[in-house]
Structure 1
Amino acid sequence: MAMLAAPSTKAADQRPPHILHIVADDLGWKDTGFNGCTDIKTPNLDSLAATGAKLTNFYVQPMCTPTRAALMTGRYPFRYGLQTAVIPSVSSYGLDTSERLLPECLKDVGYKTAIIGKWHLGHADKKFWPRQRGFDFQYGAMIGELDYFTHEEHGVTDWYRNNDVVKEEGYTTQLFGREAVKLIQQHNPTQPLYLYLAFNAPHTPYQAPKEYIDRYPNIADPTRRTYAAMVSCLDDEIGNVVRALEERGMRGNTFIVFHSDNGGTRNAMFAGVMADMSKIKIPCDNGQYRDGKGTLYEGGTRVCALANWPGHIQPGTRDGFIHAVDLFATFASLAHAPTDKCKPLDGQNVWTTLASGAASPRSEVVHNVEPFRGAVRQGDWKLVWRTLLPSSVELFNLAEDPSEKNNLATVQPEKVSQLQKRLEELAKESAKPLFLADQFKVVMKNMNGEPVLPTDEEFSSIEAP
């Protein structure tokens, strides 16, 4: 049996790797085998986790658009107004074009950059689209939710190849996988590749090919059965992509990162707009973690994740803090890509943590900062603060209480004060949420026919969606 080479801990010692960045959509923390799921089979992800690093403290934002913005900018989304909710299909705003994105940095040092899958960072104006933001190739959807077979949302096709609408038949997960395989087969292995493979599965609507649903006759609940089928299809396509890398001779120099964009959905309010979810049992399982998508609890922000790079990442579990914003700095370091043209990054280079389990340079995770709520973790302590009346403060010691059952705010007033002070500092650096401004504008237009942006005083009174 061949010995595994000691993991390199210095980016300067490595030739720039290919980077395969895989993002699932609304996947429950416990809905993969490597995190303990028993009724859904994910052999390909399990293999990557077993031969790589399983990340137990990997954090994202509580919803889709904010996480994807964090990945692309290396900066918390409260800094540019994308911290609240997702970009609705009827809205015209997008990720601030003054932000320099990851693919732009990687292109500067010779990478080919491609996005296959879901974008959801602005669709109403082409200036927000991937091809205009540093990606050489684009294939997939611009908005957040679509029918898996028709590729439509409310009758409008949302399926593009390099800025052009395309009409195709097929199940989205399989189409994304096939396109990724094709891209790899045609790629020159001597040029570094950054492939952002952003599946929309297993986001609502819950749809899957019959042959996948038939794999799970022992799951009684029909929605969980379909959800399981969606996750299995996702896993199969990831396996196909990894095999394509092997066949092309690229696997040995490919750094793979996989994670969900937020926790699994537990509340029908956050389950999408294409179907009435109030009368079904939502199928996602976040294990011991409280609540799910859309919330600041662990079930919404701590997600299943792994990293794998043969000979460079030592197999094992990584318990150090990693946030989605850290991937920008980490990828850029491995690629030898300068970030001096970027706005100040919130992300840190966590390569040594991923490679060998060294202590994470991150001691704080900012879960979010919004006018009506915020949450921050420092060490074992986490504060969740709702500022709208009636306000509430919750303090948890996650080392002792990972399920966030015991609110210690009344017995640890000094810790509460310390973390509230930190959130106040961050709030002063925050941009107004574009989602709330957009919704206020819609309301005002409906009232008197004229769109009116709120004053600071009016804005502070807007309630959360």
Structure 2
Amino acid sequence: MPLTIPQFLTVFLCSVLPVTSAQAADKPNIVYIVADDLGWKDVGFNGSTDIQTPNIDALAAGGAKFTQFYVQPMCTPTRAALMTGRYPFRYGLQTAVIPSVSGYGLDTSEWLMPQCLKEAGYKTAIIGKWHLGHADKKYWPKQRGFDYQYGAMIGELDYFTHSEHGVLDWFRDNAPVHEKGYTTNLLGADAVKYINAQDAKKPFYLYLAFNAPHTPYQAPQEYIDRYKNIEDPTRRTYAGMIACLDDNIGRVVAALDKKGLRDNTLIVFHSDNGGTRNAMFAGVMADVSKIKIPCDNGPYHEGKGSLFEGGTRVCACANWPGHIQARTVEGMIHAVDIYPTLAALAGASTTKCKPLDGVNVWDTIAEGKPSPRSEIVYNVEPFRGALRQGDWKLIWRSMLPTSVDLYNLAEDPSEKNNLAPANADKVAEMQKRLDALAKEAAKPLFLVDQMKVVMKNMHGEPLMPGDDGFGDDDNRPPKIGAGH
């Protein structure tokens, strides 16, 4: 006997709705935490002896602790890689960061992580530092897929006034916010508030991007006082900044527990680049000429801004109870891999993306299986490039005088022994690969932008207020230099 229309609808809904509910329950919440300029060894799980990070260490101990997690050597490029799943040389963000006086940003034709996850049913939020375009609102997070935004558009700012050189850089949903408080505490409190407001039936993606422990080195006195045993005053303040960061990460985890969301929440933590070792990359708000730069990258050479391991291999861990085995994960992972990995977990389509450089590394993260990645592109710029293939790493500086470094990272992770002179064939092979990538690269927008400034100065044309790309918008973020 054929079913009536009401009977058919009843049977159909009964068969479909349970599947739909199960699919929704399978989508994990994602809390993605990024620190700013944090040294590889400045966390307990990587061996810090003078700075305590119990909350971060607990995430590492109960989940995956990565030994080969790679990012770009500076802030803007890493954040772009996370948002696009593509190397920054593809769209011109491979060099330096976006200066506050510049009008460019992350290409709006790129389909970003929050847009992808939002289509899969996620609520999306950024709490913290953006730094992927500020001069035109088309580049701002609310216009790029985030339902909610709170924090800095650029990223180097006074921790107490939330400004740079007296100009506010603190916003909520595109509107400037004037409030008191230390930025790390404010971001942590807002993240807790956001978590408390979530409906357990709808998954969320929270990109929690702290500006700590970037310069200027500032911390509440109570945190500095925790480290009276550290003799160097800058290191003492830096330790206090990290302690405050760790406390706020602990508060976020506690909020997830209290809300009953912890078991269905993936937490990822890492730094945006290695800790600063060169004063050139310390930023524009801190005079580091008379201090000892406090960051510690452990066994890795150099730091932020460099193509050595100290600038690109960062402290990192991931935790999801019942889904990620507690272990040390040795496989190579790059920031571009995060996009396809999270999209797969969320059941999200990447068909709107341009060709991804990232690969799905979930099995490596969750079970420690061999990484599907055999190559890391550290960067491709007109004046330098670096590539890793297997254990071999090449750094090629093409500006005169040129230089070539070749290392076997399995035998020499500290990059002390340059093997290029004895391995001409390997050097040539890897240079050929870098040269091919360079032919695919977009022109670095930073260099194009700075050349315009040089040309104006050469012709005696003053830089007018409108030249920074902000036009007449009185709510524009501060004009910050290129060093952050």
Establish whether TM, by shorter chain, passes 0.5: yes
Q: 2:160 aligns with which of 131, 139, 149?
A: 149
CA–CA distance in 1 between the matches of 2:335 and 2:25? 23
CA–CA distance in 1 between the matches of 2:156 and 2:73? 16
Q: Please name the residue that 2:123 is paired with.
A: 112
Q: Please name the residue that 2:103 is paired with.
A: 92
Deviation at 1:190, TM superposition (A): 1.0
Q: 1:316 aligns with which of 301, 306, 327?
A: 327
Per-residue Cα deviation, 1:143-178 (whole angstroms, up to 9, x for no partner): 020000000011100000000001010000000000
Q: Deviating runs (4+, > 6 A) in structure 1? A: none
CA–CA distance in 2 between the matches of 1:321 and 1:306? 13
Matched, 1:436 2:450: no
CA–CA distance in 1 between the matches of 2:173 and 2:390? 44
1:217-232 to structure 2, matched below 5 A, reads: 217-232=228-243
Deviation at 1:121, TM superposition (A): 0.2
Deviation at 1:129, TM superposition (A): 0.1
CA–CA distance in 2 between the matches of 1:444 and 1:192? 50
The letter for the 1-side match of 2:103 is S
| Other structure's SS at 2:248 match | helix
Matched, 1:21 2:32: yes
Deviation at 1:72, TM superposition (A): 0.2
Matched, 1:171 2:178: no
| Other structure's SS at 1:239 match | helix
Q: Please name the residue that 1:459 is paired with.
A: none
Deviation at 1:275, TM superposition (A): 1.9
Instruction: Tell me which moved more, 365-374 or 441-450.
Output: 441-450
| Other structure's SS at 1:49 match | helix
CA–CA distance in 2 between the matches of 1:278 and 1:82? 28
Q: Please name the residue that 2:422 is paired with.
A: 411
CA–CA distance in 2 between the matches of 1:301 and 1:225? 25
Matched, 1:363 2:364: no
Per-residue Cα deviation, 1:169-192 (whole angstroms, up to 9, x for no partner): 000000000000000001111100
Q: Please name the residue that 1:240 is paired with.
A: 251
Q: Is the 8 A contact 2:25 2:201 kept in 1?
A: no
1:173-252 to structure 2, matched below 5 A, reads: 173-252=184-263
Q: 2:362 aligns with which of 351, 354, 359?
A: 351
The letter for the 1-side match of 2:60 is A
Deviation at 1:277, TM superposition (A): 1.0
Q: 2:338 aligns with which of 327, 344, 356?
A: 327
Q: Is the 8 A contact 1:14 1:334 kept in 2?
A: no
Q: 5+ unaligned residues in a row in structure 2: which ranges? A: 1-22, 463-481
Query: Is the radius of gyration larger for structure 1 or structure 2?
Result: 2
CA–CA distance in 2 between the matches of 1:239 and 1:147? 23
Deviation at 1:276, TM superposition (A): 1.1
Q: 1:49 aligns with which of 53, 60, 70?
A: 60
Matched, 1:270 2:281: yes
Q: Please name the residue that 1:3 is paired with.
A: none
Q: Is the 8 A contact 2:106 2:139 kept in 1?
A: yes
The letter for the 2-side match of 1:24 is A
Deviation at 1:450, TM superposition (A): 6.3
| Other structure's SS at 1:197 match | strand
Per-residue Cα deviation, 1:393-423 (whole angstroms, up to 9, x for no partner): 0000000000000000010111101110110
| Other structure's SS at 1:444 match | helix
Q: Please name the residue that 2:43 is paired with.
A: 32
Deviation at 1:432, TM superposition (A): 0.3
Matched, 1:306 2:317: yes
Q: Is the 8 A contact 2:380 2:438 kept in 1?
A: yes
| Other structure's SS at 2:26 match | coil
Q: Please name the residue that 2:398 is paired with.
A: 387
| Other structure's SS at 1:325 match | helix
The letter for the 2-side match of 1:179 is D
| Other structure's SS at 2:421 match | coil
Q: 2:71 aligns with which of 56, 60, 69?
A: 60
The letter for the 2-side match of 1:395 is L
Q: Is the 8 A contact 2:67 2:315 kept in 1?
A: yes
CA–CA distance in 2 between the matches of 1:253 and 1:235? 22
| Other structure's SS at 1:189 match | coil
Q: Greater share of helix residues, 1 or 2?
A: 2
Q: 2:387 aligns with which of 372, 376, 397?
A: 376
Matched, 1:130 2:160: no
Q: Is the 8 A contact 1:137 1:162 kept in 2?
A: yes
Deviation at 1:118, TM superposition (A): 0.1
Per-residue Cα deviation, 1:262-301 (whole angstroms, up to 9, x for no partner): 0000001000001211111000000000000000000000
The letter for the 1-side match of 2:342 is F
CA–CA distance in 1 between the matches of 2:395 and 2:197? 48
Q: Is the 8 A contact 1:350 1:361 kept in 2?
A: yes
Deviation at 1:447, TM superposition (A): 1.4
Deviation at 1:334, TM superposition (A): 0.2
Identity fraction in percent:
75
The letter for the 2-side match of 1:357 is G
| Other structure's SS at 2:126 match | strand
The letter for the 2-side match of 1:134 is G
Matched, 1:260 2:274: no
CA–CA distance in 1 between the matches of 2:370 and 2:94? 28
Deviation at 1:446, TM superposition (A): 1.2
Deviation at 1:60, TM superposition (A): 0.1
CA–CA distance in 2 between the matches of 1:213 and 1:359? 42
Q: Is the 8 A contact 1:29 1:304 kept in 2?
A: yes
Q: Please name the residue that 1:402 is paired with.
A: 413
CA–CA distance in 1 between the matches of 2:165 and 2:442? 31
| Other structure's SS at 2:338 match | helix
Q: 5+ unaligned residues in a row in structure 1: which ranges? A: 1-11, 452-463
CA–CA distance in 2 between the matches of 1:404 and 1:213? 34
The letter for the 2-side match of 1:73 is T
| Other structure's SS at 1:215 match | helix
Deviation at 1:387, TM superposition (A): 0.1
CA–CA distance in 1 between the matches of 2:204 and 2:450? 39
Q: Is the 8 A contact 2:34 2:269 kept in 1?
A: yes
